[in-house]
Structure 1
Amino acid sequence: MNEGTTLLHAVLCRPGEAYVSFADASAHHFLERPDLRRAQAQHDALVQLLTDHHVRVTVLPELEGHPNAVFTRDPLLITPAGYVTLRMGLPTRRGEEAWLAAAVDALGIPQAGAITRPGTVEGGDVILAGRVAFVGRSARTNEAGFHQLASLLQHMGYEVRSTYVPDEYLHIGGAMSMIAPDRVLACPGVFPPDFFDGFHVIWAPRGTPGQANVLCLAPNVVVADSAQTQVIDTLRGHGVEVHVLDLSEFAKGAGGPTCLVQPIARNGG
């Protein structure tokens, strides 16, 4: 799997009452309560954009009591060998793993491994780029989880490159995204000097954490949140085709384009 290749199949979860029905926003890492009608309209626009780009979209009903279930990226990692069941670092998200695994089982994808306690890994901290796996160690992905995942990935033949992610980025996916098989969008000041050896890097302008969170639809074709105007201009200046969506109701849950999409299949893996 290379996240810079053409997206063929994705699993998403349309927001419903669970997305806005919570007592304690901080327990779910929400910045504020979203507007459900607007969130549904924004999500529908994302699904339509994916469909227009010939992506097979599987939309799941939400998991009751789990407002973060809309962020399908995090509970699992899909590899060419099958899926790895992760273990969420945010306690209120525990339970999403089995829910999403059941949906992926139904698609006929085998399980290739699992993260077990005390380890935690969230999917936003793992980016596959051909035979390289970029892994963030963060508030959501701990040392025990990282070592379990690194062992699994190395047995699959991946070169694992890891770095610590500052808390303000939440996951490594807030600081970098693949935009082509050998091309990366990244935030400056986060990564070691040799982290992207072998890749071409477009550096995002210094700005808000999360601005490097863009979803690759095909090489040099991405989806970006309309709030990230500087990144959009930078990418377009480098010849990248950028499709802009208003995802403001998901930013209230600290999510961006990649968070909303679990990539099941891409061209070449």
Structure 2
Amino acid sequence: YVAALREAGAKVTELEPLVDFPDSLFVEDTALCLSEGVVFLKPGPPSRFGEVSAIKPVLSDLFKEVRSIKGIGTIEAGDILVTPREVLVGRSARTNGSGIAELREILNDWDYPLREVPVPNGVLHFKSDCSLLDATTILATARLAATNCFEDYDVILTAEGEEAAANAIRYNGDVIMAAGFPNTAKRLKQFGYRIKEINNSECAKIDGGMSCLSLRF
């Protein structure tokens, strides 16, 4: 995973394991990183709260403005998809209305429109079922696309039975996706995307995908 990001041109900072927080490898959930600043989020399970405290000193000096979710709500970045036109936030078991409302207030200050979208039953995070391929194109599962949350975008559907392929990341020109989904990979190549497939078998056992493992900015 780290090698794929570096090959795509990313400067990667690897963090030490947080042995007291077994979910901490899913570092994406702790913060939303935008050009205007960083928003430290509030994961759903209380057992993850310490992850945010650990990432704060790493990120705070890298952004000109630092904000935090401080209220009773919860929100994880696995439910947040940033596109050039808006920020889509899925309401899920991990992200609730209060958390979304507080993030909306912060993003209003930075002129980012936020749109709340549904997350299908049984799906952990909004981005478990989608990813941004370019400014106007979304890779999504059929079940998520059926909610009509992507009406203003071009949508490429994952192949039947390959729903876990929906969580991918694009860095520079490379689409980094989990290996083992040949029909979806073929479909993306047919649309002209350059694909890098990497083994994600261990993270997949606990619903982890490509975006979960890093904060990209």
Flag whether TM exceeds 0.5 (same fold). yes
Residue 184 of structure 1 aligns to a residue whose secondary structure is: strand
Unaligned runs of 5+ in 1: 1-45
TM-score of the aligned structures, taking structure 2 as reference length? 0.92
- Tell me the CA shift for residue 94 of structure 1: 1.4
Q: How far apart in 2 are the matches of 1:164 and 1:171?
A: 10
Q: How far apart in 2 are the matches of 1:255 and 1:51?
A: 20
Residue 161 of structure 1 aligns to a residue whose secondary structure is: strand
- Indicate if the aligned counterparts of 2:162 and 2:184 stay in contact, CA closer than 8 A: no
Q: Residue 180 of structure 2 aligns with which residue?
A: 227
Q: Residue 9 of structure 2 aligns with which residue?
A: 54
Q: Deviations over 1:80-120 (max 9, x none)?
A: 211001001122211101111111124x2244321123110
Bigger share in strand: 1
Unaligned runs of 5+ in 2: none
Root-mean-square deviation (CA, aligned residues, Å) is 1.7
- Indicate if the aligned counterparts of 1:177 and 1:185 stay in contact, CA closer than 8 A: yes
Residue 50 of structure 2 is aligned to residue 70 of structure 1: no
Amino acid at match of 2:215: Q
Amino acid at match of 1:120: T
- Indicate if the aligned counterparts of 2:38 and 2:60 stay in contact, CA closer than 8 A: no
Residue 68 of structure 1 aligns to a residue whose secondary structure is: coil
Q: How far apart in 1 are the matches of 2:105 and 2:81?
A: 16
Residue 3 of structure 2 aligns to a residue whose secondary structure is: helix
Residue 153 of structure 1 aligns to a residue whose secondary structure is: helix
- Indicate if the aligned counterparts of 2:74 and 2:96 stay in contact, CA closer than 8 A: yes
Give the paired residue count: 216
Q: Residue 238 of structure 1 aligns with which residue?
A: 191
The share of aligned pairs that are identical, in percent, is 29
Q: Residue 40 of structure 1 aligns with which residue?
A: none
- Tell me the CA shift for residue 175 of structure 1: 1.2
- Identify the match of residue 101 of structure 1 among 48, 53, 56: 56
Q: Residue 260 of structure 1 aligns with which residue?
A: 213
- Tell me the CA shift for residue 217 of structure 1: 1.4
Q: How far apart in 1 are the matches of 2:64 and 2:50?
A: 19
Residue 190 of structure 1 aligns to a residue whose secondary structure is: helix
Residue 216 of structure 1 aligns to a residue whose secondary structure is: strand
Q: How far apart in 2 are the matches of 1:168 and 1:111?
A: 36
Residue 253 of structure 1 aligns to a residue whose secondary structure is: coil
Q: How far apart in 1 are the matches of 2:75 and 2:163?
A: 20
Q: Residue 42 of structure 2 aligns with which residue?
A: 87
Amino acid at match of 1:196: F
Q: Residue 248 of structure 1 aligns with which residue?
A: 201
